[in-house]
Structure 1
Amino acid sequence: MAISLAKGQKVDLTKGNPGLTKVTVGLGWDVNKYDGGQDFDLDASAFLLDANGKCVSETDFVFYNNAQHASGGVTYTGDNRTGEGGGDDEQIDLDLSSVPATTEKVAFVITIHDGEARNQNFGQVSNSYVRVFNSSTNEELIRYDLGEDFSIETAIVVGELYRHNGEWKFAAVGSGYQGGLASLVRAYGLDV
């Protein structure tokens, strides 16, 4: 049974699941009534961060234009441009045994593509969540429902996988940002 987290909570991932190396982070959302005449395209991304909380190079940013990290440890599986349908809207696969040793943390974010230009924000999104499941068995291990705490934000850091004493843990973050993906890229030490 999956562990349900609230914002700020942390939980062991690998300690309670010995031998677990392949996990998938699924992200889902629904768009509230929106009549702006344009698609509402949310995107999942992952940032591989060093001990300083920064990306070492541009390749440490995994998203729709860089779908796989050079290590093979993190892979973005595809872009859902509407959020239609049930279940996860986008997923990121991880092979924890292949994530570089210099990576202390993997941050997972959801951003609204061209959100500011299209006058879209997370106040128009509902039922957003992140879940972590065992890729081999499809067993859901962790779930974090983000709730309706956002209004004008166009980017959200939803959660982080991080190393602690040789094990992987997951933290439910739920921090919103204005400025879309560009603001997060800069925050994680990359040039836009």
Structure 2
Amino acid sequence: MAINLQKGQKVDLTKGNPGLKKIVVGLGWDVNKYDGGNDFDLDAAAFMLNSEGKVTDDKNFIFYNNTSSSEGSVMHTGDNRSGVGEGDDEQIKVDLSLVPGAIAKISFGITIHEAKERRQNFGQVANSYVRVLDEESGAELIRYDLGEDFSVETAIVVGELYRNGAEWKFNAIGSGYQDGLAGLCRDFGLDV
């Protein structure tokens, strides 16, 4: 049974799931009835961070234009441009056993593509969530429903995996940004 998290809550991932090596981070959302008449294209991204919380190599920024880290530990499964349908809209796979030792955290974000031009924000998005699955069994281990607290934000850091000694933990972040993907990239040390 999945653990349902609240914002700021941290939970052990690997200690309680011995032998867990491969996970899937699923992100989902729906556009609510106040969509402004434009199509929404939300995008998931992963930032592989060092102990200072920065991306040290562009290959460690995983998104629809760079779908795999150089060593293959983190892989984006593809861009969903509509969000239509049931289940996860985008997924990022992580092989915990292959994540380089220099990576302390992997942060996961959702951004709205061309949000400023389309006058869109997360106040127009409903039912946003992040969940962590055991890739092998398909079992949902962790779920974090973001709620609808984001009225002007165009990007959200939904959660992060982080090392705690030899174990991995998950932190439900739920932190919004008003300047989209560019804001996330700057905060994580990438030039935009």
Give the TM-score normalised by structure 2: 0.98
Q: Deviations over 1:102-141 (max 9, x none)?
A: 0000000000000011100000000000000000000000
Shift of 1:35: 5.0
Aligned to 1:174: 174
What is the identity percentage for the equivalent residue pairs of Structure 1 and Structure 2?
Answer: 67
Aligned to 1:71: 71
Aligned to 1:16: 16
Q: Distance in 2 between matches of 1:120 and 1:35?
A: 8
- SS of 2:107's equivalent in the other structure is strand
The 5 A counterparts of 1:115-154 are: 115-154=115-154
Q: Deviations over 1:3-62 (max 9, x none)?
A: 000000000000001110000000000001145343100000000000000001111100
- SS of 2:186's equivalent in the other structure is helix
- SS of 1:117's equivalent in the other structure is helix
Q: Deviations over 1:127-156 (max 9, x none)?
A: 000000000000000000000110000000
- SS of 1:75's equivalent in the other structure is strand
Runs of 4+ in 1 over 2 A off after TM superposition: 34-38
> Could you tell which deviates more after superposition, 26-35 or 110-119?
26-35
Aligned to 1:155: 155
1:98 paired to 2:103: no
Unaligned runs of 5+ in 2: none
Q: Distance in 1 between matches of 2:182 and 2:35?
A: 25
- SS of 1:116's equivalent in the other structure is helix
Equivalent AA in structure 2 for residue 78 of structure 1: G
Taking only aligned residues, the RMSD between alpha carbons, in angstroms, comes to: 0.8
- SS of 1:97's equivalent in the other structure is helix
Shift of 1:165: 1.6
